[in-house]
Amino acid sequence: MAKDVSRVVTLSNGRPMPRLGFGTWRIADGEPVERAVRAALDLGYRHIDTAAAYGNERGVGQAVRDSRVPRDDVFVTTKVWNADQRSGPAAVRKAFDDSLARLDLGHIDLYLIHWPVKGRYKDTWRVLEEIHATGRARAIGVSNFLPHHLDDLLAGATVVPMVNQVEFHPRLVQRELLAACRRRGIVVEAWSPLMQGKVVQIPELREIAKRHGRTVAQVVLRWNLQHDVVTIPKSANPDRMAENAAIFDFELSAEEMVRIDALDRHERVGPDPDNFNF
């Protein structure tokens, strides 16, 4: 299974990024996140997602350092928070330095703008371009950017974001956004791909899962991958982590993909990127 879990997509700058990752949102710093990340790495995961706002970067870094996995084999993502964007470029530079210090891994594989803070994200992106040029962030990207945010950003950008991490699941397919990213060579990455567990309530997904002898979560994560969307499910339970990783030995039919796509209701489990207050 480890070999399958570490399958990669190549970013626009040539860097490999594992298609299946492990999310750490709402896992407490210290022993809880260290234990979870160690379990994920032991199961073969090679992509760990955190953020300054999660408050667990220190534990994530400790777990990676304590593992037997070579540093260059682990892809670590973190993100700059909104308050730092609002404080200006100097605060963004400091935020990156602080994240790098807390992780203590030598470099960050992917550094993202966490949310498109109005009037600030273009200045923030210029700082990310500077950081990327130093090599301390091997790749840079954005999170929660809609097509109009991308258009606005790219009007003055030197580097095209390599990744856009967005809410993506069967109730929020975001076809226009997927197309906009693909036109620009931006890899789409799904956060909350299981709708915080709510996917199990959808009858059509239960039916498809039964047909394959799989769980609903496995069907949805497989649907992500067949859309060429990187996905980062989160669970602190090692059995659930293993279940989430067992999605490389079956395939959804074209008809099943269409049925799942048709479940789209433009429903979010998280904030609207055009209307958030944090």
User: Is the pLDDT assigned to residue 208 strictly greater than 70?
Assistant: yes
Per-residue confidence band for 3, with pLDDT thresholds at 50, 70 and 90: low
Whether the predicted model's global pTM rises above the 0.75 cut: yes
Per-residue confidence band for 26, with pLDDT thresholds at 50, 70 and 90: very high
* 131/142 Cα distance (integer angstroms): 14
Pick the CATH number of 2-261 from 3.60.9.10, 3.30.70.20, 3.30.420.10, 3.20.20.100: 3.20.20.100
Q: Which residues are catalytic?
A: 54
Express each pLDDT in 166-193 by its tens digit: 999 999 999 999 999 999 999 999 999 9
CA nearest neighbour of 55 among 4, 11, 101, 99: 99
* 205/149 Cα distance (integer angstroms): 32
User: Is the pLDDT assigned to residue 2 strictly greater than 60?
Assistant: no
Contact 189, 164 (CB under 8 A): yes
What's the confidence (pLDDT) of residue 127?
98
